[in-house]
Amino acid sequence: EDEVAECPVCRQALVEAVTPPCRHSLCLACFQRCLQGPGLCCPLCRSRLSTWARRQQARAEPAATTAAGGGG
């Protein structure tokens, strides 16, 4: 049986999984919604993710710029 993992937040297939330090896996879309919230906390255990999330976001932004053709 090929069982597809699912995001515990939206219950959709776990595509582009993000695993914060608290070790809960979320899909990228749910993680991005977390970043837009005021507390920057894991939606499952409410662990603070602010420093870790900012680092992840900073790493993703240059890649997005390069992918969009603005890297040089």
DSSP codes of every residue in 25-49: -EEHHHHHHHHHSSS-B-TTT--B-
Note the residue count of the chain.
72
DSSP state of 17: E
pTM for the full model? Answer: 0.65
Q: Is 9 helix (H, G, I), strand (E, B) or coil?
A: coil
Confidence at residue 51, expressed as pLDDT on a 0 to 100 scale: 81
Give domain limits for the chain.
17-67
Locus of tokens 């997005």: 64
17-67 CATH fold: Herpes Virus-1 (3.30.40)
Confidence at residue 55, expressed as pLDDT on a 0 to 100 scale: 81
Please identify every stretch of the chain with a pLDDT value under 70, giving residue numbers as ranges. 1-2, 62-72
Q: Residue 31: CB partners within 8 Å, gap ≥ 6?
A: 18, 20
Question: CA 68, CA 34: separation in Å to the nearest integer?
Answer: 24
Confidence at residue 32, expressed as pLDDT on a 0 to 100 scale: 87
